[in-house]
Amino acid sequence: MRTGKVARIADRVRKELGELTPQERTLAIKALRDALYEGSALDAATSDPKQMDACVRCGSIRIIRKGHGRDGSQRWKCMDCGRTFGVRTNRVMGMSKLKAGVWMRFLECFVDCLSLRKCAQRCGVCLKTAFLMRQRVIECIRRYTPVLRSEAGMSVQLDETYFRESFKGNHTKSAVFVMPRKAHRRTKSLRKRGLSKEQICVATGVDDAGRSFLTVCGRGVISKDRAMSALKPHIGRGTDVLTDGAPAYVKPLAELGANLTQTDAGDHAINRVNTLHARLEDFMFGFHGVSTKYLQAYLDWFQWLGAFTDGFGETDDNRLLARQLGNGLYRIRRRDYQRMTPPYMDYWKKAA
């Protein structure tokens, strides 16, 4: 009965759309799409009040029930920070003034890896709002991405890749940042050849199951200390590790209790991690350069795509990202992004 009713409604809508002018049809389709987006967002991003187990501001688990909101929803009080919160506090769709349909359109652009200008045009927002929406989504989905934590008997390939340092953005009105060098185009060659201090190192690892990590770890060729800080959260004792001939991995992996095997880069023994680097290069190419201070966020975005999409921008569940966004929390405010400064600036202070 219900299927037949839906079919009759669809036939009536199709017939009425055919009787409209092209301009009216465009407006009608846009209105229907917005209604579907909003309905899908409300359905996918609902939060169960019983699942609130920590303070959304400080992360403390010492919370108690504290009355109800105007809409009847449960509220809680944190016994550590003393503040109250509800199911919508610090949640993107709950705190945003944008309609749910706008967020759903943006999520489509996010999965398709469109540029900020295209996202702004499709969603009907300004460029700054599109940027903040992207950062909000990345911050929310970061905790859902599977993290590589190897154990004894597992096999992991390690390598590193490098990105040239970038101060991309308009800094003419910034009160907290001054360009340490003269601005240049992205295609201009670096001042120093090879793996110099003007390049940012990204430590990379991938296991047999495809889980990976991508960690920004300083300037230039990776060192022993930076390798240790990057590998310690991911490599466990007894892990079989395969790398190229980089000497920086020897001591850290010995201290972590891993079994290290080094091979020549020309033997193609670390193809899995090299394939990951090739995919990462294709992903980054579409953005025409990424500012170094946001590089880790884009790496997290790339890892999410590898974990939850099939490589063609399609997810197993169309409401998956909406659920993650609806239940995700954010703590970085707009003013924090405005005041954020690039990392590793000591190099330029010494050069001056």
pLDDT of residue 67: 87
Average pLDDT value for residue range 296-303: 94
Average pLDDT value for residue range 285-307: 92
Tell me the pairing of strands 240-243 and 84-86. Answer: unpaired
Amino acid symbol at 250: V
Which residue ranges does the chain devote to CATH 3.30.420.10?
147-170+194-290
CB 156 within 8 A of CB 239: yes
What value does the mean pLDDT of the chain take? 82
Of residues 29 and 242, more confidently modeled: 242
Rounded to an integer, what distance in angstroms lies between the CA atom of residue 328 and that of residue 267?
A: 43
pLDDT digits (tens, 9 = 90+) for 181-209: 887 776 666 666 667 888 999 999 999 88
- Residue 43 pLDDT > 60, yes or no? no
> Positive or negative, the Cα torsion across 185, 187, 193, 196?
positive
| Strand intervals (E) in 97-184 | 155-164
Rounded to an integer, what distance in angstroms lies between the CA atom of residue 175 and that of residue 269?
A: 49
The structure's pTM equals 0.80
Amino acid symbol at 70: R
Rounded to an integer, what distance in angstroms lies between the CA atom of residue 347 and that of residue 197?
A: 8
CB 234 within 8 A of CB 213: yes
CB atoms inside a 10 Å sphere around CB 62: 12
pLDDT digits (tens, 9 = 90+) for 11-37: 776 666 666 777 766 666 565 555 545
One of 3.30.420.10, 3.30.870.10, 3.40.50.1700, 1.10.3470.10 is the CATH number of 147-170+194-290, namely: 3.30.420.10
- Which residue, 265, 267, 239, is CA-closest to 254? 239
